[in-house]
Structure formats: C-alpha cells, structure tokens
Amino acid sequence: MATASSAQGMQGPLRVAKKVTGWYIAAAVLFIILGMFAIVEPAVAGLGVTLLVGWLLIFGAIAHFIGAFKGGGAKHVVLQILIGIAYLVGGIYSLTHPLLAIGTLTLLLAAVIFAAGVLEIISYFRLKGEGASGWVLFNGVIALLLGGMIWFHWPSSSVWAIGILVGVNLLMTGMARLMFGMAARKLVGRAAG
C-alpha cells in the first residue's frame, strides 16, 4: 500500500520534470535553427546582433537613470547617471553606426566565446561521469577555437565572422543542450516506469 502511495506521489514531480525537459529540448531546437540561419546569412545575423546590443544598451541606460533616483546619496546618483550616459552613448552609436559597431562587437564576442569555452571545459570536468558530458567538452573546445579564430583574424573578417561565429556557437550549444535534454527525458522515463 505504501508503495502505491509513493508511486502516486511521484506522478506530479515526474509530470513537471517531463514538461521541463520538453521545454528544454524545444529551446535547444530553437538554438539549432537560429544557429543554422546565422550561418546561412552571416551579414544579417551580425547586423542583427549589433542592433540588439544597441537597443539593450539603451534599455540599460534607462534602467540606470531610473535607478539613480531610488536613493543612496549624491555619489550613487552621480555614478548611476554617468553609467547611464555611457550606456546611452554606446547604444546610440551602435544603432547609428552599425558597421563600425560590428568591428567592436567582434572583439568582444571573441573574448566572450573564448571565456564560455573555458567555462564549458571546466563544467565538463565537474560532469565527467554524467551522460552526454562529452558534448559539453566538445562544445567547450569548439568555443575555444572559435574565440581564438575570430580574435586572430580581426578586423578583416568581422563583417561576416560575427554572424558565422554566433551561428556555430548557437548550433553547438543547441546540440549540446539537446543531448542533455534527451538524456534527462530518458531518466524521467525510467523513473516513471
């Protein structure tokens, strides 16, 4: 009798886990689709990333301006306003000069992808015994190579490279997440059955 109650008590969490893994897999597929689009149309993807960053900087500026008046003294207000102005100038510059901003973002992207690769490799060593952990290592190595490649070929390839590198990174991240999502879905299926 206690076993039947335990099995029934697990149905709610298993249903939630199955739903979460479904959303995780769907997000992974979306990453893969976006990655393929960015590889096929790298100039459009690079321009899109630049415009997105410009708008995010403007929204960040607005948040800093709002945060400046939430208290904290004159030093806090002045600092928040100065940071907001820097964000606003960067955002407006990115929106009005997107081709020049792509060059700057290319260097930043190289550093971010390289750092992400290092963190993925560190994650691999923590997850070494888990299923699909090899995909995390593979993703980390690819990210290291991509980050280094874009850094060494800058600025000659920044117009197309940002789109392709973002696309490959999205594609590899999507594939790694898809493998993890499928492994998690398999574990949920075993727990339910």
Each residue's pLDDT tens digit, 132-149: 778 888 989 998 998 888
Q: Region 4-15: what's the mean pLDDT? A: 62
Confidence of residue 74 (pLDDT cuts 50, 70, 90): confident
> Does residue 124 contact residue 143 with C-beta atoms inside 8 Å?
no
pTM of this prediction?
A: 0.62
List, for residues 147-176, the tens digit of each pLDDT value.
888 888 888 777 777 888 788 889 999 998
**Percent of all residues in the chain with a pLDDT value above 90, rounded to a whole number:** 30
169, amino acid identity: N
Is the per-residue pLDDT at 4 higher than 80?
no
> Rounded distance, CA 163 to CA 129, Å?
34
| Average pLDDT in the chain | 85
Task: Of 105, 116, 100, 104, give the one whose Cα is nearest residue 168.
Answer: 116
Q: What type of residue sits at position 125?
A: F
**What number is the average pLDDT over the span 1-5?**
50
DSSP state, residue 160: H
Would you call 129 helix, strand, or coil by DSSP? coil
Contact 148, 121 (CB under 8 A): no
